[in-house]
Amino acid sequence: MVDQRGLEVVLSKPAGRIVTTFTPASLFTLSLGLADQLVGIGGSTKYSPFINQLLGHREPLVIGSRSAGINLETIVALKPDLVLFFGKKDGYRLAERLSSLGIASLVIQPETFADAQVVLELIAKATGTQDKAAKIAAENQRLANIINSGLAGLPKTQRLRAYYANSSDLYRTASEQMFQHQLMLIAGVDNVAKGVPGFYPKVNVEQLLLWQPQLLIRESNDSTKVDEQLAKSLMTSLEKLPQIMIPKGSFWDMPSPMAMAGALYIAANAYPERFKHINLDNEIARYYRVAFGHACLSPLRGIAQCQ
């Protein structure tokens, strides 16, 4: 098979020992029911209640993260059949290093919904889980169909102008280069900051007010900084806007197998009249039942219900 850097990756049999080096890779791997094969894990997912529920008693070794650095020696010691790297400079370098040691490395880069489907298919082919990948793909298409049906006939001129706020700073937003822009696009809202370049680019108060957004889409965490920024006098008009909070720990705001559920969540909350015929909770719970085995893993239900 050919990975997303365009290089051929050869496996003599389905990978039985897998190492993931970043969060989306872990999520795609677990969605395919590969928790038992996951011997090493990277990123912050190891400390997520969602991930811990899927892992159960299993304890894959933490091998670092993209931000803190990946421990190559630890990976080699795990004797993996397959290592998943992110398609950037460091990922390429580490993948080449492991390949020279005879360890298969798959470079993936799920930056759009189309890319995410390719990633799912690549990992499934490498692990012999194509049947499960097909079920997940069908569920994603089902959610996409619900979104498209609800938005049918909505003129572009009537799409809500939305501003995406980073969880730690109101003035950090999503540019057209980021997955969050793709999320908004699928959900039928117009990203007012799409023309600003960079990753979580910084904007100023004047620009934000000039855009006159009609809706705020916010990431959720334990920080109160964005609430404090909105409470300032200049932000009175923005504070009164409808706000859609992406559920904490949902992983809907990054390339993940369940991101289409996030797009449906945004669309249904942005245009409630257009989606009043659906039960949002049930539609998303069905996805989680198919992809992860439990409807209660949906962030709209609460992981505690799985105990």
Domain membership flag for residue 149:
no
pLDDT of residue 11: 86
- Are residue 110 and residue 162 in the same domain, yes or no? no
Residue 194: φ, ψ to 5° = -60, -25
CATH of residue 64? 3.40.50.1980
- In angstroms, the CA 120 to CA 136 distance is 9
Judge if 183 and 271 occupy the same domain.
Answer: yes
Domain limits for position 78: 18-128
Query: C-alpha distances in angstroms, 222 versus 172, 225, 227?
Result: 17, 9, 11
What per-residue confidence (pLDDT) applies to 307? 64
Tens digit of each residue's pLDDT (9 = 90 or more) over 149-201: 999 999 999 999 999 999 999 999 999 999 999 999 999 999 999 999 999 99
How many angstroms separate the CA atoms of 274 and 276, rounded?
6
Residue 69 β-bridge partners: 65
Residue 302 lies in a domain: no
Q: Is residue 81 part of a domain?
A: yes
Name, in order, each residue with C-beta under 8 angstroms of 292's C-beta and a sequence gap of 6 or more: 30, 31, 54
71-101 per-residue burial string, b: 16 or more CB within 10 A, e: under 16:
bbeebbebebbbbbbbbeeebbebbeebeee
Q: Is residue 294 part of a domain?
A: no
Here the tokens at position 86 are 């992110």
pLDDT at 235: 81
Are 160 and 245 in the same domain?
A: yes
Same domain for 75 and 164, yes or no, is no
* Residues in the chain with pLDDT values less than 50: none
What integer pLDDT is reported at residue 242 of this predicted model? 96
